[in-house]
Chain A
Amino acid sequence: MSQGSAVAPLRGALRIDDAVKIYDPDGARLLAVDHCSLEVAPGEICIIVGPSGCGKTSLLNAIAGFHGLDAGSIRLDGELLCGPERNKAPVGPDRIVVFQNGALFPWKTNLDNVAFGPLVQGRLDRSRARDKARRLMAAAGLSGHEDEYPGEISSGLRRRVEIVRALMNDPAVLLLDEPFRALDALTKSVMHEALLETYYYSRTTIFFITHDLEEAIFLGHRVVVMTARPCRPKRIFDIDIPHPRDYGLLTSKRFREIAAEIATEVDEEALKSFKRGEREG
């Protein structure tokens, strides 16, 4: 794997226009997303930060097509995913989600999990899919775990397998909903570097939701701070620290400056959310 391939990708441009999402649990209509507009450039790592329950997962679900929008539109590379004529985006392998608690199929081996995508899409036959999966797992440092089941390996490894499973399908956008939330700090730092490593290789657009500010700044090209529910971009920070990044920069002056700025913005929203007693989405 080369560090920093030079080809800039042409796909994976996300454009969210004026999105509105209303939840209706038992008649209490709650506004989750309020006229949110956001643009993500192709190949960009865009981090969404915000307090619990602010509606950021709703946004991600709308992009993935798990539910629809009540107003506004989402476009991928210019093509309409959901909008006035079609209120729910189709679910598909161009926008793959990596779930918070992991969704590797426990009844399949890691290899079969990774090979699942191309196999069910009919793009590759069984042996070719497995070969490709084997190669990708090796490239990601996961050889030796092909024939194990997800229940037998640690959660850190499981996350990595899940990310590889997603990248096997060459998605335009990788959607990650607090994927490292349940991991301990040591595992997390390895995961960050692993994610960046795979990013440099594939240059997929990444749409990443998190609470962890250090994670956000370390990984992202841009960090979008969302307001408390209903969510809307409050302020967008450009992280001008160059890629490729390594963990040493956590103590650098520039990192700390950015962290302090973002923290002020986020804390304000977090306090509002805390006072309201929001439950996590």
Chain B
Amino acid sequence: MTTETAIAVPPQSGRLPAWNARLPRSLFSLRSRRAAISVVLALLFWQIGATSSGWLGVRLPVVGALPSPVAVFVAWSHLINDRGYWQSWYLSFVRVTLGFATAAVVGVPFGLLLTINPTFRGISFPVFEVLRPIPPLAWVPASIIFWPTQELSIDFVIFVGAFYTIVINVLGGAQAIDIRLVQAARSMGASRWNIFRRLILPGVLPSMCVGFEVAIGITWEVVVAAEMISGGGSAGTAAAGGGLGFFIWNSYVGGAYPNIVVGMISIGIAGYLSSVSVRAMASRLTPWLRLR
């Protein structure tokens, strides 16, 4: 396709009038349509597979044992009115926020100290590294033994999970700071405090924010698992008091399989919302990255 060259333009400017600026096509673009087709097909496949014992006579492996999307939707419509369900949301969110905030408050200074003080690094980093391969959940029993309340023991495990990620990302960000920037600052007579505050701190921010996003994901994983492990096995009322992870496990034990899926999707949404808020906060902290 060739556009006609009858474009009226003053010879030197080179900038054309935006008379056919791109139309907003995000909603109906090819990509959205394909995504929609995919999701619909997946749901159909799920529905057919889950109800296969009914219409096919034979229960398909794996898919056949699942609760169907319809059943899940029905369960959800009931749960929306169940106070206990929303209480689970609240409990899990509180745990995630507390655990994450504590990890950030401790982890960021710790990471920064590791960067700027070689002696501190020499002492602490090997210890840090040697304990890192132990998965956070392996700390659960030790945590229960140590801490007086179950809540604190869960929070400790969450803290461990998020702490490591945040520190590693602060370190990574600090290492990536261009040494020439530091040299330039020094040559302009900046004091050590100023270099730290105006150079290292902002320089670490992008990597730290990435670390936050990853950490919040890990936090959710740990919360769910900790809730399942510590509450697991106890038969209780539908969704009271344990958080979303406990809710899932309880639904399983109680045989309410559609509720399991509702719980899973709920956590997925909750996790996604958390990530988005962390990313938004990160964007506020690093405005210079937005101007591309």
Residues in A lying within 8 Å of B, measured CB to CB: 18, 20, 22, 24, 27-32, 34-35, 70-71, 84, 87, 229-230, 272
Contact = CB atoms under 8 A, between A and B. Distances in A.
Contacts of A22: 3, 16
A29 B5 CA distance: 14
Contact of A27 (B3, B12, B14, B18): B18
Q: Which 4 pairs between the two chains have the least Cβ-Cβ distance?
A: A27-B21, A29-B16, A230-B14, A31-B14
Interface of B: 1-5, 7, 9, 11-12, 14-18, 21-22
B16 A31 contact: yes
B18 A70 contact: no
B14 A34 contact: yes
Contacts of B7: 31
A27 B5 contact: no
Contact of A229 (B5, B14, B22): B14
B2 A29 contact: no
B5 A71 contact: yes
A275 B217 CA distance: 49
B5 A30 contact: no
Given A20-B5, A71-B3, A30 B14 contact: yes
B1 to A, nearest CB: 6
Given A18-B5, A22-B3, 15 more contacts: A22-B16, A27-B21, A27-B22, A28-B15, A29-B15, A29-B17, A30-B15, A30-B16, A31-B9, A31-B15, A31-B16, A70-B5, A71-B2, A71-B4, A84-B2
A220 to B, nearest CB: 26
A261 B1 CA distance: 41
Contacts, number: 39
Nearest to B21: A27
Given A27-B21, A27-B22, A70 B15 contact: no
Contacts of A20: 5
Contacts of A272: 12
Contacts of B4: 71
A30 B16 CA distance: 6
Contacts of A24: 22
A229 B66 CA distance: 63
Given A27-B21, A27-B22, A35 B5 contact: yes
A70 B2 contact: yes
B1 A87 contact: yes
Contacts of A71: 2-5
Contacts of B11: 34
Contact of B3 (A30, A34, A70, A229): A70
B2 A87 contact: yes
B2 to A, nearest CB: 5
A275 to B, nearest CB: 11
A247 to B, nearest CB: 33
A71 B4 CA distance: 7
B22 to A, nearest CB: 6
Contacts of B9: 31
Nearest to A229: B14
A22 B14 CA distance: 9
A28 B15 CA distance: 8
Contacts of A28: 15, 18
Contacts of A29: 15-18
A103 to B, nearest CB: 23
Nearest to B11: A34
A9 B18 CA distance: 46
A14 B8 CA distance: 29
B45 to A, nearest CB: 39
B17 to A, nearest CB: 8
A32 B22 CA distance: 19
A62 to B, nearest CB: 13
Please indicate which of the listed interface residues B4, B5, B22 has the most CB atoms of chain A within 10 Å of its own CB.
B5
A84 B21 CA distance: 23
B271 to A, nearest CB: 32
Contacts of A87: 1-2
28 contacts: A18-B5, A24-B22, A27-B21, A27-B22, A28-B15, A29-B15, A29-B16, A29-B17, A29-B18, A30-B14, A30-B15, A30-B16, A31-B7, A31-B14, A31-B16, A32-B14, A34-B11, A34-B14, A70-B2, A70-B5, A71-B2, A71-B4, A71-B5, A84-B2, A87-B1, A229-B14, A230-B14, A272-B12
A68 to B, nearest CB: 9
A32 B2 CA distance: 16
A131 to B, nearest CB: 44
B26 to A, nearest CB: 14
A114 B22 CA distance: 43
